[in-house]
Structure 1
Amino acid sequence: MTLPRAAQICYRAGCTRTVVRAGQCGDHAPAPWSRTSARNSLRHAAARRVWERRVRPQALRRDGYACVWCGSQEALTVDHITPVSRGGTWDLTNAQTLCAGCHRDKTAEDRAL
């Protein structure tokens, strides 16, 4: 016969609540497992830095500082042709310059697929 374990108290200083997970109460417990690992998020952050510093200026220059859909030169953004979430890359071949309106329309199309 085994005896039930005694309730434990959260190990955070000053907290007297009962442990829920990982030695901590509900307020201090770590967030549940997420879909991306720390390793992948670091890769994503590094790719984003390269995109902002290198690819984005090259795409703007290549596209003549104008939207490739409508030709506008106002409120320009550099967009992934194929979204990264769908297998797109972070390189210049997957970049295009769009104005804010065309970018909004393209994003709506991407989400509809």
Structure 2
Amino acid sequence: MACSGFYLLRNNTNSLKACRRAVNIRKRPRVRLDRQSYSSLHRSVLKRDGWRCQRCGSSVGLEVHHITPRSQLGPDAEENLIALCWDCHRRTHEPVPSGPRWRIVSSMLVRSR
């Protein structure tokens, strides 16, 4: 099987998986905690943070956020985790606009408040 871009575009994502296996390419090393250990870590982070979002102080819809993302090899360690409400967690993961156009828009938003 040829692992060409044309072949991958014509076919589904299973082709990409087959090509990765054929060439022996891994996305990243997988290290996962078992469910019980992660649940215990999750609870200890929420308890440490006083069962409150560390951004807005809400106690509703709390989630645990990795400060250094796992995709950047951030550890599943208490020092790398923080309690955030679902809204602050979503905002944390939103892309941050930049550039001269954004500066104009952001200055307009500040003036309108």
**Band of TM-score, shorter chain:** 0.5 to 0.7
Identity of aligned residues (%): 30
Note the C-alpha offset of 1:88. 1.5
Alignment partner of 1:96 is 2:87: no
TM-score by length of 1: 0.59
More helix by share: 2
> How many residues align structurally?
84
Q: CA deviation at 1:99?
A: 0.3
Is 1:76 the equivalent of 2:67?
Answer: no
User: Paired residue for 2:19?
Assistant: 32
Of 32, 35, 38, which residue of structure 2 is paired with 1:52?
Answer: 38
Larger radius of gyration: 1
Compared CA separation, residues 87 and 57, structure 1 to 2 (3 A): same
Unaligned runs of 5+ in 1: 1-19
Task: Measure the CA separation in 1 of the matches of 2:65 and 2:49.
Answer: 12
Q: 1:88 to 1:50 in 2, by over 3 A?
A: farther
Amino acid at match of 2:26: R
The TM-score, its normalising length taken from structure 2, stands at 0.59
Q: CA deviation at 1:89?
A: 1.2
Structure 2 counterpart SS, 1:77: strand
Q: Which amino acid aligns with 2:52?
A: A
Q: Which runs of 5+ in 2 are unaligned?
A: 3-10, 99-113
Q: CA RMSD in A?
A: 3.1
